[in-house]
Every structure is written in structure tokens, then in C-alpha cells.
């Protein structure tokens, strides 16, 4: 065993393992370990630090003694004993995390059984990669865990939950956890794996990797922890003004004339609209990345006409490349496509045999941006919808795909980051500021590439609606403050069904109080295709504009469109806080009221910025609901003006046209 100081790092070495601990931001440490000859990715390669940004230099306090060592950086201290076991403490000396070891001795000198379980378990996979497990004791069964990204499950508190660390359509693995005990933990490893927050221990797992890498911070409040994490991984750009308004979308506007007609429909009715969307298969072939001129002639003129109405145009981009694409052979020759380990190179058979461009390859990123710049950006389109971003494999056999920088098992979770980076860096080179990419997935650090994540192709049901509330709040805690959903859900809705009308109204109300308010969906009954190839080969869903349902639905939607417009100055302030400090725009009650125990228990309400408590109606047929108003402040019902002292639960009226909203300390509600 050797413990020593090297270039500001605490280094532990025993047998084949080398472990580094070093300061990485205020009150934070980065911990890495390998069983190979040297620490990987230390030569200045772009993927060296994965989600982490380079830190400011810091001088930690490091003490080495006969039985181990300690390293302190502000409010956090890590201790390691002679057997390599790690424990982490806050500035008050309180234990935050301790590796689960059932081997020889733990850090307190206790003797254990002969189970021979290590806190860090490296099992060889062949070559220089390992199946890695890192285990931590769960000393406090009442600990609560939040973050981790977006999963289609209803639990806000993830204690007791088992999660796959992998990207899928509607699932975004963003492996940052915030603990009620006062720490934040980033699993800084893009390998496919799992995490289980059990009552007895927490286990992080990577199925194939060369190293262990995590970052941990301690803080006195959730906000302090969140801001430290944002400092370590980056913040979103400043949201441009149009982003705070209403976004209109459907599956799918089929022609240039149709989209202009819909835009004029909003304007003629006096309805606010900021963005309108051209969805998938407006192109000639997947991988051509250009409009089909038969259905979308004169895109420059379309952009000009929309801008004259104050509307931005967003276009859908897919990472798919069809074998018939004009770019396929060149991209194949240059190594710009994801490879298959077994079978043919067909990753998805949607409208052809397609694979995906390899966004982990800098050359591929530049190549794709060149096509997009020529065919979209130079024509005035500066807002992109990056769909199929996981990427969405036909079969999620993660071990069957290989990227430029490694196997999918070892690095695959970083793909959506690199997809967003393609467009962010391309537009940045063109001098663009306030870059926004609507994208269907994310990993840690994606926020700094302008990632606005939406929750994927979800079902149109109240059950799915409830899942989105947990998903959005946990995405904000995971460092992705720009987030939205398909209002009304994506699949399975009939525009004539009264049950869907109720769901749509409740979802639309909630969308008014989401970071981005966006109406989208694949509605029934469907419309036929206009042709047999290119931009005409796909049909469309039914109408999905706010006037497409009933007069009652229209009037309620109109009410919330006008309300959203009045809220925009307030939302801009929240976007500024997200840009400057990483503050989630929507966040659980405990974020603003960490001293209120009930705020940590409440999972079906949230704060929209610091001023408004929002309690969506998440079940059909409900016309009231219980609302908890946190202690220590005065609350005002934004509809009736009735006031309450906090620290109580009330029954809030919620007729169909009303979502319960309460303002804090006399904050003005428009």
C-alpha cells in the first residue's frame, strides 16, 4: 500500500489499483480509480473529463498518516484507510457516504466476516475493460435521493428505486443525484449500467469501462449543491426571448402552405405563438438533411413570412442515414457512421435501412453541420429539433454497437451530448448566441450545449401525465433546467374523445407552468400521405391546434395562452437564474423550503421559480385536490385572492378551467 501527494492530488496505490482524489470546484472532490497500467484519458483528449469542466486551481488540505490519509476541500472531507476504503464527511464531520466493504477491515477498524466484498469491484471483461460496481453503505434509511434524469415512473424520491443507466426513447440517464443528507453525487461515467438506491446500500454499476470516476460535493442547502454541480458541469445559455412563449407542433405539417396557414390561424384569432415546427420527413431521404422541394419550396420565403408574424421556425433533424442517401457512401468511407459488432449495419428500419451518424467523431459532427448549414441555417433556420437522439435503436442490444471513441457499452450514454454539441458548436462558429436545441435525450453536461429536453414519445393518459411531473422535476435537479413535454402526450389520443379533452386541458394548464410550453402529438384519426417518396411518403396525425377540439377546450387553452404571455417577463428572470447559477426553473418544494420536513415528502406539487407554487390535477374527474403550503411564508390563491399562513394543507378548488396556483409573500400574479 502506498499513499502520497502528487500535483495537488491524494494518490492511493495497492497491487494493480491506482486511485486519485483531487479538489474539483468549491466544496467538491473528484475520485478516479483504475486497475490498468495508467489512468485513462489523461493526455488532453476531448473526452478526458466527460461531463466535468476544468476546475479552478485549489489547494486542498491533505494529511497522510500510518493508517491512511484525508483530503479536505472547503465543506467536504474524504478519508481513506490503509485498506483503501473511502468515507466522505461534510464540514461538520458528519458522515455522508461510506464504501460498503465486507472484507478485512473497514475505515473504523471493525472486523468483518469472510464475505470478501469490496467497495470497488473490477471484474475483467477482456482487454483493458472491466465490469465495475461501486457500493456505498446506506446508514440512514430515511435518506431521500433526487435527480438522475428522466424515467417513465412516478416516484420523485428515488430511494428504493432501481434505474437503468442507459438512453432510450423517453428515458434520459443523467447520473447526478442530490441527497437530503446534504451532498450531490455525479457518476461521471457514460457506460451503460445500473444504479440501485437500496435501503441497505447504494450500488453504481458500469457494464464495461476502463475506470471508476465520480464527483461529489457537500452543501448546506439543495441550492448550494445544485449551484456547485452547475459550476462543475456548466449551465444553459441564456434562453432567447421566443423560448418563453408558446410552441405549436403536431405530427406532421405536410407542406409549406399548411404550416403558413396554421401560423395565420393563430394570428387571426389573436393567440400568442412564438415557435412553429416542421416535423420529420420533410426531407428527400434520411441523411440528406434538406427539404424536399416538392412540398417545401422556397424555405427562405417561408422563414421570412413567419418572422414577419413574429414566429420562429424550428425544423426536425434526425441522426439517421439511409443507405440510399446521397451522403451515405462518403460517410461510410470516412468512418462517420456507427458500426455494428454483429449482423448488418442497419440500426433502425424506419422507412428504409438506416444507421446513425457517429456524433462522438469530431469529423462526423463537422460533416453533418456542413450539410445542415448549407440546407437550413443559411436559409434562415436557426432552431433545430434533434429527434431520435438516444439514438433510438431498433433493438437496444447495447453491446452490438461501436462508436469512434469506444464501445456503446463503455461510452454510449454520451451520444445525445455529442449530438447537441454538433449543432451548438456549428452555430457558435457562425456567431450565434442563445442557442437552443430541442432534443429527445441528454446526459450530464448536455445543458451547456443548449439542450432543451422533451420527454419523448409518451402515451396520452393520466398515468403517463403523472410520470412526466416526476421526470421534469428530477431532470431539473439533474442539471437540465430546460425541459418540456408533448402537451397531451404523443401516442393514443382521439381528438373527438371527451376523455382526451379533459386530459389535454389539464396538461395544457400544467404546460403553462413548465419551462417551455409546447403542444405536440400524434393524434387520431390519421391523414393519408401526399405521395410515395421523400417528403410525401408519410401521412399525418389529426389536427392539433388549440381550436381543433371543442369550444370549451378552446376557451380554456386561450385563457392559458394569454396567461403564459403575461408570465413571460417572470419566466425570463428564471431563465436568467438557470443560465447564471444552474437554478431549475421548476423544482420540488424542498429546493426553496429545505427546513420544512413536509416539503421533502410532497411529490405532486412544485415551485415554478421562487414565487409560485403549482399543484397540477393529475387524475381524471377531479375538481379539487389537497395542497400543502410550506411553512414560514404567506400564500395567496392566485384565482380567488384568499390568503393562508404556511405550514398547512388545504383543499384547493379545481374546476376544469383552473389549476391550483399559489403566490408567495404577496408576489403579483398576472
Instruction: Indicate which CATH number applies to the domain containing 129.
Output: 2.60.40.1760
CA proximity to 661, closest of 592, 599, 611, 586: 611
Q: In degrees rounded to 5, what are phi and psi of residue 424?
A: -60, -50
- Domain shared by 570 and 596, yes or no: no
Q: Which CATH number belongs to the domain containing residue 391 in this structure?
A: 3.20.20.80
Query: Which H/E stretch holds residue 95?
Result: strand 95-98
The single residue of 77, 358, 390, 637 carrying the catalytic annotation is: 390
Average confidence (pLDDT) over 551-564? 98
- Domain shared by 656 and 570, yes or no: no
Q: What nine digits make up the cell of 51?
A: 461531463
CA 299 to chain CA mean position, Å: 31
The single residue of 118, 387, 486, 592 carrying the catalytic annotation is: 387
- Domain shared by 228 and 290, yes or no: no
Pairwise CA distance, residues 205 & 408, whole Å? 15
Tens digit of each residue's pLDDT (9 = 90 or more) over 327-357: 999 999 999 999 999 999 999 999 999 999 9
Q: What is the pLDDT of residue 45?
A: 44
Q: What is the pLDDT of residue 104?
A: 62
- Annotated catalytic, 611? no
- Domain shared by 424 and 442, yes or no: yes
DSSP 509-521: HHHTTSSSEEE--
Judged by phi (left if over 0) then psi (alpha if -120 to 50, else beta), residue 522 lies in beta
- Annotated catalytic, 390? yes
- Which of 581, 597, 626 represents a domain boundary (last residue)? 581
Tens digit of each residue's pLDDT (9 = 90 or more) over 602-635: 999 999 999 999 999 999 999 999 999 999 999 9
- Domain shared by 349 and 497, yes or no: yes
In a domain, 195, yes or no: yes
Q: What is the pTM (predicted TM-score) of this model?
A: 0.97
- Domain shared by 554 and 595, yes or no: no
- Domain shared by 227 and 361, yes or no: no
Q: What is the pLDDT of residue 116?
A: 84
In a domain, 669, yes or no: no
In a domain, 38, yes or no: yes
Q: Domain residues for 649?
A: 588-664
Q: What is the pLDDT of residue 44?
A: 47
- Domain shared by 510 and 632, yes or no: no
The single residue of 399, 457, 545, 573 carrying the catalytic annotation is: 457
- Annotated catalytic, 645? no
Q: What is the pLDDT of residue 111?
A: 55
- Domain shared by 374 and 256, yes or no: yes
In a domain, 670, yes or no: no
Asked whether 467 and 153 are in contact (CB, 8 A), the reply is yes
Average confidence (pLDDT) over 484-506? 98
pLDDT > 90: percent of the chain: 93
Least confident range of 24-33, 124-133, 216-225, 459-468:
124-133
Average confidence score pLDDT of the chain: 96
- Domain shared by 605 and 632, yes or no: yes
Q: Is residue 279's pLDDT more than 90?
A: yes
Q: What is the pLDDT of residue 115?
A: 84
Q: Please, what's the b/e burial string for 622-652 (b: 16 or more CB within 10 A of its CB; e: otherwise)? A: eeebebbbbeebebbbbbeeeeeebeeebeb
For helices 362-375 and 415-429, what crossing angle results, to 10°?
50
Average confidence (pLDDT) over 245-258? 98
Asked whether 537 and 529 are in contact (CB, 8 A), the reply is yes
- Domain shared by 160 and 262, yes or no: no
In a domain, 534, yes or no: yes
Average confidence (pLDDT) over 218-236? 98
- Domain shared by 392 and 478, yes or no: yes
Judged by phi (left if over 0) then psi (alpha if -120 to 50, else beta), residue 106 lies in beta
In a domain, 514, yes or no: yes
Q: What nine digits make up the cell of 254?
A: 405536410
Least confident range of 2-16, 569-583, 592-606:
2-16
Instruction: Give the pairing type, strands 2-6 and 9-14.
Output: antiparallel
Domain count along the chain? 3
Helix, strand, coil tally for the chain in percent (to 5) = 25, 30, 45
Q: Which CATH number belongs to the domain containing residue 621 in this structure?
A: 2.60.40.1180
Amino acid at each position: 500500500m502506498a499513499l502520497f501527494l502528487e500535483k495537488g492530488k491524494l494518490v492511493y496505490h495497492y497491487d494493480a489499483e491506482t486511485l486519485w482524489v483531487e479538489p474539483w470546484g468549491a466544496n467538491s472532490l473528484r475520485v478516479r480509480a483504475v486497475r490498468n497500467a495508467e489512468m485513462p484519458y489523461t493526455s488532453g483528449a476531448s473526452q478526458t473529463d466527460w461531463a466535468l469542466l476544468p476546475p479552478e486551481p485549489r489547494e486542498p488540505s491533505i494529511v497522510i498518516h500510518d493508517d491512511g490519509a484525508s483530503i479536505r476541500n472547503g465543506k467536504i472531507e474524504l478519508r481513506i484507510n490503509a485498506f483503501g476504503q473511502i468515507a466522505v464527511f461534510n464540514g461538520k464531520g458528519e458522515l455522508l457516504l461510506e464504501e460498503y466493504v465486507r472484507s478485512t477491515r473497514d475505515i473504523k477498524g471493525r472486523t468483518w466476516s469472510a464475505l470478501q466484498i469490496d467497495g470497488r469491484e473490477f471484474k475483467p471483461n477482456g482487454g483493458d475493460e472491466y465490469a465495475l460496481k461501486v457500493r456505498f453503505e446506506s446508514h440512514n434509511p430515511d435518506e431521500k435521493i433526487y435527480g438522475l434524469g428522466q424515467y417513465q415512473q412516478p416516484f420523485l424520491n428515488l430511494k428504493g428505486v432501481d434505474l437503468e443507466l442507459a438512453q432510450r426513447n423517453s428515458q434520459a440517464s443523467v447520473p447526478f443525484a442530490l441527497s437530503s443528507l446534504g451532498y450531490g453525487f455525479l457518476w461521471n461515467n457514460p457506460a451503460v449500467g445500473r444504479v440501485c438506491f437500496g435501503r441497505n446500500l447504494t450500488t453504481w454499476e458500469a457494464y464495461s469501462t476502463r475506470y471508476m470516476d465520480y464527483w461529489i460535493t457537500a452543501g448546506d442547502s439543495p441550492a448550494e449543491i445544485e449551484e456547485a454541480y452547475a459550476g462543475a458541469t456548466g449551465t444553459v445559455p441564456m434562453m432567447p426571448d421566443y423560448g418563453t412563449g408558446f410552441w405549436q407542433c403536431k405530427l406532421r405539417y405536410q407542406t409549406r402552405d399548411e404550416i403558413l396557414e396554421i401560423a395565420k390561424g393563430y394570428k387571426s384569432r389573436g393567440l400568442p405563438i412564438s415557435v412553429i415546427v416542421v416535423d420529420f420527413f420533410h426531407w428527400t431521404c434520411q441523411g440528406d438533411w434538406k427539404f424536399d422541394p416538392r412540398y417545401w419550396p422556397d424555405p427562405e420565403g417561408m422563414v421570412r413570412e413567419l418572422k414577419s408574424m413574429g414566429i420562429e421556425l424550428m425544423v426536425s433533424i434526425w441522426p439517421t442515414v439511409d443507405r440510399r442517401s446521397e451522403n451515405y457512401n462518403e460517410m461510410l468511407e470516412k468512418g462517420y457512421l456507427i458500426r455494428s459488432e454483429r449482423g448488418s449495419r442497419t440500426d433502425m428500419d424506419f422507412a428504409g435501412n438506416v444507421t446513425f451518424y457517429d456524433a462522438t467523431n469530431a469529423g462526423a459532427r463537422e460533416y453533418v453541420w456542413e450539410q445542415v448549414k448549407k440546407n437550413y441555417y443559411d436559409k434562415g433556420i436557426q432552431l433545430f429539433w434533434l429527434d431520435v437522439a438516444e439514438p433510438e435503436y431498433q433493438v437496444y442490444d447495447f453491446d452490438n454497437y461501436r462508436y469512434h471513441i469506444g464501445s456503446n457499452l463503455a461510452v454510449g450514454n454520451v451520444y445525445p451530448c455529442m449530438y447537441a454539441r454538433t449543432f451548438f458548436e456549428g452555430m457558435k462558429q457562425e456567431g450565434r448566441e442563445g442557442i437552443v436545441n430541442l432534443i429527445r435525450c441528454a446526459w450530464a453536461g448536455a445543458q451547456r450545449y443548449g439542450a432543451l429536453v422533451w420527454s419523448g414519445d409518451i402515451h396520452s393518459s393520466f398515468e403517463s401525465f403523472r410520470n412526466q411531473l416526476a421526470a421534469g422535476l428530477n431532470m431539473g435537479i439533474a442539471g437540465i433546467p430546460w425541459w418540456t413535454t408533448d402537451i397531451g402526450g404523443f401516442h393514443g389520443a382521439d381528438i373527438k374523445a371527451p376523455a382526451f379533452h379533459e386530459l389535454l386541458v389539464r396538461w395544457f394548464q400544467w404546460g403553462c407552468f413548465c419551462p417551455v410550453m409546447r403542444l405536440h402529438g400524434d393524434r387520431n384519426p390519421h391523414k393519408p400521405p401526399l405521395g410515395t417518396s421523400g417528403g410525401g411518403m408519410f401521412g399525418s396525425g389529426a389536427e392539433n391546434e388549440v381550436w381543433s377540439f371543442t369550444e370549451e377546450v378552446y376557451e380554456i387553452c386561450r385563457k392559458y395562452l394569454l396567461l403564459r404571455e403575461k408570465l413571460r417577463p417572470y419566466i425570463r428572470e428564471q431563465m436568467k437564474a438557470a443560465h447564471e447559477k444552474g437554478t431549475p426553473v421548476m423544482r420540488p418544494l424542498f429546493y426553496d423550503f429545505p427546513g420544512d420536513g413536509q416539503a421533502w415528502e410532497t411529490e405532486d406539487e412544485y415551485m415554478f421559480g421562487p414565487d409560485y407554487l403549482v399543484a397540477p390535477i393529475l387524475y381524471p374527474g377531479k375538481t379539487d385536490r389537497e395542497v400543502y403550503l410550506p411553512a414560514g411564508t404567506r400564500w395567496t390563491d392566485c384565482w380567488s385572492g384568499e390568503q393562508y399562513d404556511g405550514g398547512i394543507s388545504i383543499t384547493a378548488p379545481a374546476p376544469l378551467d383552473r389549476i391550483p396556483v399559489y403566490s408567495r409573500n404577496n408576489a403579483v400574479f398576472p
